[in-house]
Every structure is written in structure tokens, then in C-alpha cells.
Amino acid sequence: MRRGLWIDISGYTLTQEDKEILQHPAVSGLILFSKNYESLAQLQALTKAIKAAAPHVTITVDQEGGRVQRFQHGFTKLPAMHYWGERFLESRDYATQEFKKILSVMIAELSSAGVQSSLVPVLDIDYGRNAVIGERSFGRDISTIVALADVMIDYCHQHHFPVTGKHFPGHGWVTADSHLSLPVDERSLDEIMANDLQPFIQLHHKLDAIMLAHVVYAAIDPLPVCFSRFWIQTILREQLHYRGIVMCDDLTMQAVATYGDYTERANRALDAGCDVLLVCNARSGVISILDNVSSFRPEG
């Protein structure tokens, strides 16, 4: 993983425009979705073409399990993370061994398809308030979240799969869907530090990347986390001493739609300290950012 813009493509194969954009030196990642998957053979051909066009680009996907599994037919159906949290509370040793087996399957299947990582683990706490998080979380118990995420991280690293912890500093308390609106969390910093931040505090040194929540924590900072120097610089970099990649969630989401055009959003996120910006389902936004954001323009 390296600093830059992470984008998507619209279909099963690369267009000439796709190739040209992927070859831009500021584009460092490509996220695949269900819209890019028809069959294993097609996916293998697609990832091979991506690497031929842009060897530097990291190919990734959201293959969490449960309702967030982009590749379905031809791939093993993965249980949601909440399932593993429940099994862990019943029998720690048994759940850990079975979890490793399913992780082995996930990694093997993605690797065989030419996909280099999955955007996991989800480190959010499931308070039973947010349907968007819900079963994607390992559960309500912080020690269970940390233990299972730790297993996932170590197992992925053993198989050379980078990991991305999400959504910093915790997306589980708010009720709004950040794809549709800007969630606001009114809790104090002390409460968040004692709860939602604990998985990040305990595991940040193992995370290749941390994805930020598109949430405003109103008692702490009026800005969404991706535009907040307090959250990125003061908390993540200075207090937690995190040295990995800071990843801004998709800048096309409605949660940040009122913070200017794509260029302005990108500049705000970069100025706050984000290393990677996600821009999906908005090719015009990608082009605008590459053309107008100075740090992404080629020198000369």
C-alpha cells in the first residue's frame, strides 16, 4: 500500500480510459465491486490486465463476509464477523480455529483471482444502533473484537495480505448511514477513548492502514474525521503514534458532499493528513482530482 488515489472501474474489463487513469502515478489502488465480477475466469483476466497496465496498483475488495461480500457465485460464502464474535463467546479455542480455516479460504480464493487484499478487519463496536455496521462488527464486547481482529491480522500477514482497520475512531454508535447523510456522534472524547477507540489503541501497531469514519464527533471537532487534523494528527499520529497509511473513506459519499467539489474535498483530506483517498462511482471526480490537486499532479 502506498499514498495516492484509490479508484474503481465500471465493468468486467478495462477500457482504454481505465488503463490511462490507472497508469497515472498518483493512482495507487483499485477497489473491485460486485459490478466487476461475472466469473472467476473473468476476474482473473481482469486482474491480470490491471497488473499489466499498472503494476504499482494495489487491487483490493470488501470481502468481509455476511452481507458485505462482493464476490459471491464461485466463492465460498463467508459468515459475517458478528457470527464469529458469537462463536468466540461460546468457545474461544474452537471459534479461533474455525475462524482461521475460513480466513485461509478467503485468502486463497482472493489470491487465486489476483486480488491482493480485503479491506478488513471491521473494528467498530456493535451497539445495536447502526444497521450499516450491525453484523459487520465482531460484536459488543471489546475484548472479543480485539482478540478476533488480532487473529485476522496475524493470519493475513502470515499470508502476505495487508490489512485495513475500520472505521476510526468508531462508527457503531451513530444511527445515520454515512452513504446517505452525515452522522453526528455527541459523545465525549473520554467515552469514545474508553470504548470505540480501544480496538484501534490495542491493534494500531499491526495495521497496514486505518480507514476513517465519515462521522462528526460534535463535542470534539465540528469537522468529519477525514477533514480533522485533531483526529488524524493529534489522536492517531501523536497520541497513538500510528505510522501506517491513513485512508479516507469514499469521498463520493453523501456524508461529505457538502464540503465542496471533489477537488476541495481531496485537498481538505490531504491537508488534514490522509494518505489515501477513495473515490468510487464518480469518474469525473477522479479526473478532476488528478487534474487539479497539486500533490497528485506529475512534476513538470
Task: Find out whether 187 and 180 touch, Cβ atoms under 8 Å.
Answer: no
Nine cell digits for residue 33: 465491486
User: What is the SS3 assignment for 58?
Assistant: strand
What's the farthest any 2 CA atoms get from each other in the chain?
61
Task: Please give the single-letter amino acid code of residue 52.
Answer: A
Q: Is 249 a catalytic residue?
A: yes
User: What is the SS3 assignment for 255?
Assistant: helix
Alpha-carbon distance of 274 to 265, in angstroms, equals 11
The residue count for the chain: 300
Q: Is 179 a catalytic residue?
A: yes
Encode 133-201 in three state secondary structure. CHHHCCCCCHHHHHHHHHHHHHHHHHCCCCCEEEEECCCCCCCCCCCCCCCEECCCHHHHHHCCCHHHH
Considering the candidates 18, 249, 250, 275, report the single residue annotated as catalytic. 249
Considering the candidates 179, 261, 271, 291, report the single residue annotated as catalytic. 179
Q: What are the residue ranges of helices labelled H in the chain?
A: 16-22, 40-53, 81-90, 92-112, 142-158, 189-194, 198-203, 229, 262-272, 283-292
What does DSSP say about strands 245-248 and 276-279: parallel, antiparallel, or unpaired?
Answer: parallel
Known catalytic residues?
179, 249
